[in-house]
Amino acid sequence: MTPHETYSALLHSDAPLLALAPMQDVTTLQFMCVIDRYGGPEIYWTEYFRIHGDSRPEKWILDSITKNPTGKPVIAQMIGNDIPALVRNAKLLQQFPVAAIDLNLGCPAPIVYRKCAGGGLLREPQRIDAILGALRDAVTIPFTVKTRIGFESPQEFDLLLPIFAKHKIDLLTVHARTVLQMYRPGVRYDLIAHAAKELNCPVLANGNVFSASQAKQLLAETGARGLMIGRGAIRNPWLFDQIRTELRGEKTKLPTGRDVLNYIHELWDNEISPGVKESAQVQRIKKFTNFIGEGIGVKFLHDIRRVATAADFWRVCEEHLNHDARMPLEPKSDALAVPAANQ
Ligand SMILES: Cc1cc2nc3c(=O)[nH]c(=O)nc-3n(C[C@H](O)[C@H](O)[C@H](O)COP(=O)(O)O)c2cc1C
């Protein structure tokens, strides 16, 4: 089966579709391999390919497509606003083993939205209309969109939905916040339900999914075809399996502190390139522990953010995680760890 045949079979099955959210600098080939060993989602997204004038798909992002050993489909995401460049890259990317081509309409990083790309495009619905028209004509495999609900106000969502419908996109992922809201509380799940009702295409619900029971409730409440999960999956790689277990009506099992410690070891072994300066290795692993720490506690986060050596890093991890107590790994506060430059 080709990746888009696998993807289409997933969409035609009864089970909700669980996806790992695209995350720049996180959803690398290595991370996909780690998360898949914990059960993983049914489908992956690449982080975005930056598309402009004469850009070519970045090699390290292509690796997550061409070297993907998980057997699960991957969707290639693009960000940009230059129509000829988007069309040229979409045609190029669809020759790789991808399930679909996705357009990013959500990135809230000022450096991106000020150039009217990602979430910045939500201020210009007519431009979105033109881009989707051109991409719909060019893409011969499924074509999907990942959006926020507006740039400034959720009321903008009503103007966007008819554009998505007009171009017959194959799937819409809705991160139910506005661009200016960044990651602040107040995810509008009601607008995901609205999109799922209004559109003919499947809709994935995205934003703050953190536990199996909440995921089950969200699927029922929104009528979404599935869930896309980002930070919740970094924090808790067992989450996808926990959700599948919950949906079967069985009791989910929580990991112990030591299981979490082993997960961090696995990330280190897969994400850290030997020979790189120790301080750079510690910085790299902190990209993950900043998120994982949200599910461990404020003291862990405080301590881990201050370490500079590998020895100190492991000392803090051991101190907090070398135990057999079960851990829900749900965020301890809504102040989730999102670097300002990220989405
Ligand atoms: C570190 C980081 C990088 C991200 N990079 C991307 C990206 O490349 N493309 C994209 O569409 N969204 C990106 N996002 C947004 C996520 O895909 C997702 O929409 C958002 O985190 C909300 O989902 P969550 O609450 O499950 O994390 C990123 C988020 C984070 C935290």
- Which pLDDT score is estimated for 136? 98
- State in Å: Cα 324 to ligand 1 middle: 31
With vertex at residue 27, the alpha carbon angle to CA 191 and CA 237, rounded to the nearest 5 degrees, is 80
Distances (CA, A) of 335 to 52, 211, 295: 34, 17, 11
Q: Taking residues 251-279, what's their average pLDDT? A: 96
- State in Å: Cα 323 to ligand 1 middle: 31
Model confidence at 333, pLDDT cuts 50, 70, 90, reads low
Helices (H), the chain: 3-12, 29-37, 59-66, 83-93, 110-113, 125-138, 157-166, 189-198, 212-222, 231-235, 239-247, 257-271, 278-292, 298-306, 310-321
Residue 338 Cα: closest atom of ligand 1 = 31
- Which pLDDT score is estimated for 332? 84
Ranges of each domain in the chain: 3-247, 257-321
The chain-wide mean pLDDT, for the chain, equals 95
- State in Å: Cα 107 to ligand 1 middle: 8
Amino acid in position 293: G
Residues paired with 44 in a beta bridge: 20, 74
Residue 294 confidence (pLDDT) above 80: yes
Ligand 1, atom 4: closest residue by C-alpha: 23
Model confidence at 158, pLDDT cuts 50, 70, 90, reads very high
Q: Taking residues 51-78, what's their average pLDDT? A: 97
Q: What is the DSSP letter of 122?
A: G
Ligand 1, atom 5: closest residue by C-alpha: 23
Collect all residues with Cβ–Cβ distance below 8 Å to 95 and sequence separation of at least 6: none
Q: Taking residues 56-68, what's their average pLDDT? A: 97
- Which pLDDT score is estimated for 4? 81
- Which pLDDT score is estimated for 335? 41
Residue 337 confidence (pLDDT) above 80: no
Q: What's the rounded Cα separation, in Å, for the pair 272 and 281?
A: 6
99-145 per-position pLDDT tens digit: 999 999 999 999 999 999 999 999 999 999 999 999 999 999 999 99
Residue tagged 């699960």 (tokens):
72
The phi, psi pair for 10, rounded to 5°, reads: -60, -40
Model confidence at 2, pLDDT cuts 50, 70, 90, reads confident
Tell me which of 107, 116, 201, 317 is the catalytic residue: 107
- State in Å: Cα 84 to ligand 1 middle: 26
Handedness of CA 306, 312, 313, 314 (dihedral sign): negative
Ligand 1, atom 3: closest residue by C-alpha: 23
Q: 116 catalytic, yes or no?
A: no
CATH topology of domain 3-247: TIM Barrel (3.20.20)
Q: Taking residues 78-87, what's their average pLDDT? A: 98
- Which pLDDT score is estimated for 290? 97
Pocket of ligand 1 (CB under 6 A): 21-24, 26, 47-48, 77, 104, 106, 146, 175, 206-209, 229-232, 338, 342-343
Instruction: Express as a percent the part of the chain with pLDDT over 90.
Output: 94
Ligand 1, atom 15: closest residue by C-alpha: 343
Model confidence at 257, pLDDT cuts 50, 70, 90, reads very high
- pLDDT: is 273 or 259 the higher one? 259
203-220 per-position pLDDT tens digit: 999 999 999 999 999 999
Q: What's the rounded Cα separation, in Å, for the pair 80 and 131?
A: 10
- Which pLDDT score is estimated for 341? 45
Model confidence at 274, pLDDT cuts 50, 70, 90, reads confident
Q: Taking residues 280-295, what's their average pLDDT? A: 97
Residue 340 confidence (pLDDT) above 70: no
- State in Å: Cα 228 to ligand 1 middle: 10
- Which pLDDT score is estimated for 334? 44
Amino acid in position 136: R
Q: What's the rounded Cα separation, in Å, for the pair 185 and 334?
A: 7
327: its two tokens: 């851990």
Residue 21 Cα: closest atom of ligand 1 = 17
